[in-house]
């Protein structure tokens, strides 16, 4: 997989370039990984509902064909776009998502942070009270399994049964697969202005807190975070 650090680039031209790359690639086209940072933009997935955008203000809202709901991209965030031929890689979409999330978890571990999955809510989360601790997430009462499955509506009250209670989302994931080839990807929050996340229901969940590495006490430049995430993705997405 060839890694290209594209740096600060506008979102729409990048989206159009991903679409063009995917539409014109052949069985012999090498996989690529683009590492980007975007000016402020809200992006809606295929399942996105307009009511999840509370107040976009001057920030543009772009409809896309990726999975998921609304999220925000902005300066201080590493956005990674793996352009991968899954058939050649030899695994399916579910494992692809798992590998991307694992790359984020290992990137966070590099910085001493413990990342967590929440079943049914793609992306990676951290414990707000102890982002560096290694305790597993407690089970939600009434829900089987070792991870917490969100089944609370958007207007849910804050209760002890909230699967996101005590958690902050640090990485969002949304993908698209066309002709067994992937585009879109994952966004890791490094050192951002987090205020725009308050203008939306992040990933469709009202009141979901969003954090970045700087919020939880990790100071690292964008280039270092991009390099580490790129290395982890390159290793874990290999056939």
Q: What are phi and psi of 14, to 5 degrees?
A: -70, -45
pLDDT of residue 157: 43
The owner of tokens 């290395």 is 231
36 catalytic per annotation = no
**Confidence (pLDDT) at 150:** 43
Q: How wide is the angle at C-alpha 90 spanned by C-alphas 224 and 79, nearest 5°?
A: 25
User: What is the end-to-end Cα distance of the chain in Å, rounded?
Assistant: 10
Query: What are the strands, taking DSSP E only, across 12-85?
Result: 32-37, 41-44, 61-63, 71-73, 77-83
CATH architecture of 2-236: 2-Layer Sandwich (3.30)
pLDDT score for 139: 54
Low-confidence residues of the chain, pLDDT below 50? 140-160
Query: Which of 203, 208, 216, 236 is the catalytic position?
Result: 203
pLDDT value at residue 208: 86
Please write the tens of the pLDDT for every residue from 147-169: 444 433 344 444 446 778 899 99
What are 203-237's pLDDT values in tens digits? Answer: 888 888 999 999 999 999 999 999 999 999 999 99
Q: In what order do the strands lie in the sheet with 77-83?
A: 2-8, 32-37, 77-83, 181-189, 167-178, 121-127, 116-118
- Name the token pair of 99: 């590998």
pLDDT of residue 136: 84
């Amino acid at each position: 997989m060839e890694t290209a650090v594209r740096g600060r680039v506008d979102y729409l031209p990048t989206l159009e370039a991903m679409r063009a790359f995917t539409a014109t690639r052949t069985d012999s086209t090498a996989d690529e990984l683009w590492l980007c940072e975007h000016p402020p933009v809200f992006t809606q997935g295929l399942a996105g509902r307009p009511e999840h955008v509370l107040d976009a203000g001057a920030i543009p809202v772009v409809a896309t064909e990726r999975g998921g709901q609304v999220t925000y991209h902005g300066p201080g965030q590493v956005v990674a776009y793996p352009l991968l031929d899954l058939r050649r890689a030899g695994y399916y979409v579910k494992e692809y998502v798992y590998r991307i999330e694992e790359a984020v978890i290992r990137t966070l571990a590099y910085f001493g942070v413990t990342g967590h999955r929440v079943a049914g809510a793609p992306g990676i989360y951290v414990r707000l009270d102890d982002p560096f601790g290694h305790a597993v997430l407690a089970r939600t009462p009434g829900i089987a399994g070792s991870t917490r499955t969100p089944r609370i509506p958007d207007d849910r009250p804050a209760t002890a049964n909230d699967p996101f209670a005590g958690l902050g989302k640090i990485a969002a994931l949304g993908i698209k697969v066309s002709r067994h080839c992937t585009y879109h990807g994952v966004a890791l929050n490094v050192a951002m202005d987090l205020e725009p996340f308050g203008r939306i229901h992040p990933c469709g969940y009202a009141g979901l807190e969003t954090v970045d590495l700087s919020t939880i006490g990790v100071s690292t430049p964008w280039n270092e975070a991009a390099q580490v995430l790129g290395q982890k993705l390159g290793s874990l997405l290999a056939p």
